[in-house]
Structure 1
Amino acid sequence: MTKVINSMLNPTDFPKPTLISINGVELEVFEAGQHNAGKPIVLCHGWPEHAFSWRHQVPALAAAGYHVIVPNQRGYGNSSCPTEVTDYDIEHLTGDLIALLDHYEYEDATFVGHDWGAMVVWGLTLLHPNRVNKVINLALPYQERGEKPWIEFMEEFLGGDYYFVHFNRQPGVADAVLEENTSQFLRNIFRKNVPPAPPEPGMMMINLARSETSLGEPIMSDDELAIFVSAFESTGFTGSINWYRNLDRNWHLLADANPIIQQPALMIYGDRDLIPKSDKLAEFVPNVEVVSLDCGHWIQQEKPEETNQAILKWLEQQRTT
């Protein structure tokens, strides 16, 4: 079942969205290149983002012959925001993507993820390897499933103020602060060329939401930022933060998965990203190629042309090998 809904502010001719009912939720999905049926590529956004974060990649991929499918994942935009925390675990998030493939009658697809979207794509490839033909991930490398659940491990090494831990140990606190300061928070987080500085005391995301000073330079225009602000003013942040609140649950859910990803993979890093590069990536993803760009965390928005070139070049290499 699908129904077209009113388009949002559209400064760069982003596709009009459709609501698709799958897997017990409705997902807001943006499509381009429908005439390229048979070559699906699914783009998965991160936090605190939106399908619109792929605006620079959609036309390039459609022009290159791909059927581009860009969902707002559950908790975001006009997609459903379930109230149960566990409705945002890796089984539900990957289940949405599998149901999306089924909706379009695709056996498999190439999946592209940034930030939390990359976490979901890695998990999808572990849980449903037959439905993923290629992996392209940005910013977040494969996360090894160690001996301790992830939040427990982070709390021990990074402390209770680390935002992953804070989201889990103090539910609702950050949600409320971000919601009270939505525009300021998003304006402060979507920056590039931020001067290096020692970490401040307190919780990073709450500090960003409360800061009246924006460091570095904006990565997008005010009209583009307004799309993110409008989306989060409508939904609040709890649904999207609930992804973090399932990290330890995900650690348990992935216990029986084969940890080695055999699919061809492209990993794109930002050299100035705060997320460290993985020195074990090739152990778990043996068929990986790595590209590093001179940028921070918001790779596909900071360096859109370079990102497109890296992705299209690698996809072409895969096609000819």
Structure 2
Amino acid sequence: MTATEKFPEPYFVKTNGIDMAVYEMGPKDGVPVILSHGWPELAYSWRHQLPALAKAGFRAIAPDQRGYGKTGGPKGEENVPLYSIKNLTNDMAGLLDALKLDKAIFCGHDWGGMVVWQMSLLHPERVAGVIGVNTPFIPRLTSDPIEAMRAAYGDDMYIVFFQKFGVAEKLLGEDTARSMRFFYRKRGITMSEWEKLPPEMKNFSFMDGLKAPEETWPGERLLTDEEYAVYTKAFEESGWEGGINWYRNFSRNWRETEGVEQKVNVPALMISAADDVVLSPAMTEGMEKYVPDLEKHIIQDCGHWTQSEKPDELNALMVEWLKRRYA
């Protein structure tokens, strides 16, 4: 997004019991593309994609999702189940209803990628296509995912650590600006460097790194001061609980999707980042078994935050595929 292009102001729609903040660019009669953010992100994470899609003639729609930003969501441990994948996808279906849209192309990054792939399974009639950014389609596991992660990586692995209600949000909220500077970094480690590390150093215990002095953090700051300020203000106002609650539903999601056919029956584009060690390109191997109409690309010299690290490359891949398949 250039200096002359301001991020749009939100409007609000009622969906599935929440008031969802929605940010939109592009012609109302354009093919709708709904952009689903991850953690710890916002609709603002798509600030470089909204104008590119709009310029290409698409109706680009990015919500702050349940628990995030101006949408927010219910608080309290008793409300953790309200952040299940069924609720997250029902939010999106309700967004379509509110905008009087039969279906849309769904594009998701990080946790948002899980949402859009599951949209194609739980609401297939509302999905015209799927774009996964870093996040591959992961078929339902044969065992409880939290127990599998705990067995593989231990209790300090960040997703396992997040299961303790109130702990991670307190730690991250002690200095939200610092937490944002910790997460939003680039060039921390390449995939080849990661693969050479001993197993005990690959347990994804990111919270330990947060406690270290800032000057020891790997990589470089990714965002401008203005961009960091947007994220900081949003998470100071909403808190961290809602977003982390998404992680607290891994086991529930696994139980509640038993019997759902693991087949994506729409055109799909998978864009991986070569140096994303959490969602590696290797995880896309074999996706074709579950996503028959699949096209795959890898963006080089790019870590986890693809929308911000390599916006031009991401935009070009998305727009070219969308024009070829939906124009």
What is the TM-score normalised by the length of structure 1? 0.92
Contact 1:44 1:111 in 2 (8 A): yes
Cα distance, 1:163 vs structure 2: 0.8
Q: Which residue of 2 aligns with 1:117?
A: 112
Note the 1:80-159 alignment, pairs <5 A. 80-83=72-75, 84-159=79-154
Q: Which residue of 2 aligns with 1:304?
A: 311
Cα separation, 1, equivalents of 2:308 and 2:16:
30
Cα distance, 1:316 vs structure 2: 1.8
Matched, 1:228 2:231: yes
Cα separation, 2, equivalents of 1:129 and 1:76:
25
Q: SS at 1:234's partner residue?
A: helix
Contact 1:40 1:66 in 2 (8 A): yes
Note the 1:1-321 alignment, pairs <5 A. 12-33=5-26, 35-83=27-75, 84-168=79-163, 170-195=164-189, 196=193, 198=197, 199=201, 203-208=205-210, 211-213=213-215, 214-274=217-277, 275-276=279-280, 277-278=282-283, 279-294=285-300, 295-319=302-326
Cα distance, 1:219 vs structure 2: 1.9
Contact 1:12 1:55 in 2 (8 A): no
Cα distance, 1:37 vs structure 2: 2.1
Cα distance, 1:188 vs structure 2: 1.4
Q: SS at 1:26's partner residue?
A: strand
> Deviations 1:173-203 (Å, cap 9, x if unpaired)?
1111000021111111111111456538893
AA at the equivalent of 1:266: L
Cα separation, 2, equivalents of 1:208 and 1:191:
12
Contact 1:42 1:109 in 2 (8 A): yes
> Deviations 1:151-172 (Å, cap 9, x if unpaired)?
111111111111111111x222
Cα distance, 1:216 vs structure 2: 1.3
Contact 1:74 1:88 in 2 (8 A): yes
Q: Which residue of 2 aligns with 1:4?
A: none
Provide the aligned C-alpha RMSD in A.
1.8
AA at the equivalent of 1:44: S
Stretch moving more, 201-210 or 105-114:
201-210
Cα separation, 1, equivalents of 2:153 and 2:264:
28
Over 3 Å counting, the alpha-carbon distance change for 1:217 and 1:106 in structure 2 is same
Cα separation, 2, equivalents of 1:112 and 1:289:
14
AA at the equivalent of 2:94: A
Number of residues paired by the alignment?
309
Q: Which runs of 4+ in 1 moved over 4 A?
A: none
Cα separation, 2, equivalents of 1:210 and 1:183:
15
Unpaired runs of 5+ residues, structure 1, are 1-9
Cα distance, 1:210 vs structure 2: 5.0
Over 3 Å counting, the alpha-carbon distance change for 1:72 and 1:55 in structure 2 is same
Cα distance, 1:209 vs structure 2: 5.4
Unpaired runs of 5+ residues, structure 2, are none
Q: Which residue of 2 aligns with 1:3?
A: none
Contact 1:181 1:210 in 2 (8 A): no
Q: SS at 2:264's partner residue?
A: coil
Contact 1:192 1:216 in 2 (8 A): yes
What is the TM-score normalised by the length of structure 2? 0.90
Contact 2:153 2:204 in 1 (8 A): no
Over 3 Å counting, the alpha-carbon distance change for 1:307 and 1:207 in structure 2 is same
